[in-house]
Amino acid sequence: MRVNEKAATIYDIAKLAGVNPSTVSRALTTPGRINATTEAKVREAAKQLNYRVNPFARALPTGKTKTIAFMVADITNPVFFKLVRGAELAAAEVGYTLVIAESQESSLVESATLERILPSVDGVILGTTRLSDEEISALNQQKPVVLVNRKVDGVSDVVPDNSPGIAEAVKHLADLGHKHIAFVAGPAASWINTDRWNHLMKNAVELGMTIAEISSNEPTLEGGKGAFERVRAAGVTAVVTYNDLMAIGLLREATAAGVTVPTDLSIIGFDNIFGSDFTNPPLSTIEMPLQKIGAEAVETLLKSFVAEDDEPMHGTSEVTSLLMRGSTGKAKA
Amino acid sequence: MRVNEKAATIYDIAKLAGVNPSTVSRALTTPGRINATTEAKVREAAKQLNYRVNPFARALPTGKTKTIAFMVADITNPVFFKLVRGAELAAAEVGYTLVIAESQESSLVESATLERILPSVDGVILGTTRLSDEEISALNQQKPVVLVNRKVDGVSDVVPDNSPGIAEAVKHLADLGHKHIAFVAGPAASWINTDRWNHLMKNAVELGMTIAEISSNEPTLEGGKGAFERVRAAGVTAVVTYNDLMAIGLLREATAAGVTVPTDLSIIGFDNIFGSDFTNPPLSTIEMPLQKIGAEAVETLLKSFVAEDDEPMHGTSEVTSLLMRGSTGKAKA
DNA sequence: ATTTGTTTGGCAACCGCTTGCCAAAAGTTG
DNA sequence: CAACTTTTGGCAAGCGGTTGCCAAACAAAT
């Protein structure tokens, strides 16, 4: 039979150390509350019994679970890896456990999973898209929420500051002689999509370029592929896509159609996902500090656990930057 | 102030329904134990109060946490995505929560994290490499363990059956006229590495080919890159690498050195990771049913929760297969 | 009608830890 | 040395469920 001896409890320690269980609890959780000598005695007994606090027993009276949920739309989306890693590391560092849940891009699954998980966590990091602003606000009433890919009034967030990366990218294209560029848009409802487009437009106009929006596409390889015809029709020499996946789809479709990148067409993606340098040529992209964002999301949550008020917090702008690789080049004359 | 009204408890329900709390507990957890009418009344009251069982309160007396830990060496390793997704989906389906933890390829972190997480989970899925067989056996004494990337005596596992994919691959190379091939090995201590090499060698010899082992490399892009010189020195026309990452590194290094793939050298990887089709040419690879393995690992764990004995279980062999893409071609004359 | 068996639901102890309250012990102060 | 303050550690009541045990209520069998 497995697990012969049950785990030691504070009662075992108390008996061994010859004190009351409450003293053990205090010695272990409230340094200073108990006489140093007694505390040492308790700690010694605890070590001897290989004591591990039972997180459930502790969570019951305190209501604190030391667990954070990270909900993502799709675990296999490479954008989330680094985000999750950053969060996991930051959480582990302070003794918190990270639960990750996937909504599979379904609002039903998203709500159901949240329902199930909510009682057992102290807070939630949301990297999903299906919930409405109202639902998120409502959720935020129950447990602290931090958003990593959108903004909602009254809710904390840690989102990348797209502007520096975009400014760099547009400048880079202008320097290469591009006059007419396009943006292959992602989901219309996406906050990030709108943010990227706005910055892009502003910067392009400022540098005297024209910029066309190739409207709403699936943010996937297919979506990028499907936008190629329209990019070509737009008659531009350079294009920025909503994300790397689309950029790669576009790049491959272009190559297949005999359009050489970057000679005939320059392409810039967003995110610097895993594999974006596997392509030929390797993709130039605007990099997001995703791991940092994940870590900061956890820190923000931690802060809100101890905050007096419910004031939403906003991540110190995480700066993006252009990663120049091989998919951008001089504009075709 | 957040969270004004506390969550409803079975006591609230009991009061509303006019029964004893124990009746509520039974009505909700042991269908049939209580009179159908009473049960309906309780359920109605529960719904009315929007009752959610407190997982911690439940875990205390039962010792069951309905949580499974999945420990991986490196979250950002694409091999783990699908594994984790499969596990997450399978867990969610039966109301279990998946906690994911990363050991960062460090045995210290691995032990520490395990220590921290163990008390709050019912079982562990291990996709790491740093623990010794003994440590894993010891762990298995405490909580059920399922391995997904190695085998340890007396411990359950769900590992891919490399043989069919490898047989296909070697046959494929033989059909293309290759006589001398090589295997770019991964970590020497890895069970999977050994398993792959053994099958490869057996199949190659059976088909009358020679096969060289390019010994132990880091299982990374760099590792693949670093093996190129030795592959070239081996004078082979085709090479199979320990994993896709290495295959891609090798492919890129070969291309950079003026060796054309697949004309001059055929390359086959393992795993079909995200992005392995981004390369030029797209990588031929032996695909693992990773998501299925992840799901089955959870199912195996679930079974062991209810098993009488501690007999280790072994996943119904998950079959691999060759995914032919562009990196394999006719052997150079 | 009496005995026996089965449902049904209440009682209360317990899971392991936290914490408010209190009294004894020890330390300060004039 | 009395009066007061601070430190220290014990007591016991929860936190929100689960479950063994038991008795009342009901059904079936004789």
Mean pLDDT, rounded, for A92-116: 88
Write out pLDDT tens, residues B110-152: 888 898 899 999 999 999 878 899 999 999 998 999 999 999 9
Q: Which domain holds residue B192?
A: 161-288
CATH of the domain at A24: 1.10.260.40
| Last residue within a domain, chosen from A269, A288, A307 | A288
* Within a domain: B308: yes
Token pair for A222: 């297919």
Q: What is the mean pLDDT of residues A218-235?
A: 95
Question: What is the mean pLDDT of the segment spanning B196-222?
Answer: 94
pLDDT more than 70, % of chain B? 98
How high is the pLDDT of residue B3? 53
Please give the C-alpha separations between residue A260 and each of A222, A242, B71, in angstroms, as whole numbers: 19, 21, 44
Q: Which nucleotides of C are covered by protein (CB under 7 A)?
A: 7-12, 14-20
Span B75-106, pLDDT tens digits: 888 898 889 999 999 999 999 999 988 888 78
Same domain, A165 and A312: no
Q: Check whether residue B239 and residue B183 sit in a common domain.
A: yes
Chain B residues with CB-CB distance to A60 below 8 A: 54, 56-57, 60
> Are residues B118 and A52, on separate chains, in Cβ contact within 8 Å?
yes
Residue B3 counted as domain residue? no
Report how far residue A304's alpha carbon sits from residue A300's, in angstroms, rounded to the nearest whole number.
6
| In a domain? residue A128 | yes
Chain B residue at shortest CA distance from A91: B101
What integer pLDDT is reported at residue A184 of this predicted model? 97
Do A278 and A165 reside in the same domain of the chain?
A: yes
Whether residue A224 sits in one domain with residue A142: no
Q: How far is A286 from chain B (nearest CA, A)?
A: 18
For B241-259, write each residue's pLDDT tens digit.
999 999 999 999 999 999 9
Task: Kindly state whether residues B173 and B277 are assigned to the same domain.
Answer: yes
Question: Do B243 and B144 share a structural domain?
Answer: no
Find chain B residues with C-beta within 8 A of A113's C-beta: 92
Taking alpha carbons only, the member of B78, B64, B77, B140 closest to residue B105 is B77
Nucleotide nearest B7, from its CA to each C1': D16
Using the predicted structure, report yes or no on whether residue B168 has a pLDDT greater than 70: yes
Best residue in A56, A140, A145 to probe B by mutation, most B CBs within 10 Å?
Answer: A56
Q: Is residue B219 part of a domain?
A: yes
Closest partner residue to B54 (CB to CB) among A3, A119, A278 is: A119
Across A316-330, B161-175, B200-214, least confident range: A316-330
Closest in A52, A54, A99 to B97, CB measured:
A99
pLDDT at residue A133 greater than cutoff 90: yes
Does A74 share its domain with A125?
A: yes
Q: Which of B56, B104, B276 sits opposite A56 (nearest CB)?
A: B56
Cα angle B290, B295, B298; round to 5? 130
A275–B119 C-beta distance less than 8 A: no
pLDDT of residue A252: 94
In chain A, which residues have their Cβ closer than 8 Å to the Cβ of B75? 81, 84-85, 88
Residues from chain A contacting residue B280 (CB–CB below 8 Å): 279-280
DSSP assignment of B212-249 equals EEE----SSHHHHHHHHHHHHHHT-SEEEESSHHHHHH
Q: How confident is the model at residue A1 (pLDDT cuts 50, 70, 90)?
A: very low
**How many angstroms separate the CA of A137 from the C1' of C14?**
40
In a domain, B171, yes or no: yes
User: Is B152 contained in some domain?
Assistant: yes
> Does a structural domain hold residue B323?
no
Q: Domain total for chain A?
A: 3
> Residue A137's domain is classified under what CATH number?
3.40.50.2300
- Angstrom distance (rounded) from CA B293 to CA B147: 10
Distance from CA of B320 to the nearest CA of A (A): 20
One domain, residues A147 and A208: no
Shared domain check, B151 and B174:
no
Shortest CA–C1' contact from A13: which nucleotide?
A: C16
B329 assigned to some structural domain:
no
Q: Is residue B169 domain-shared with residue B281, that is, in the same domain?
A: yes
Residues A45 and A72 in one domain: no
A168 with A284, same domain: the answer is yes
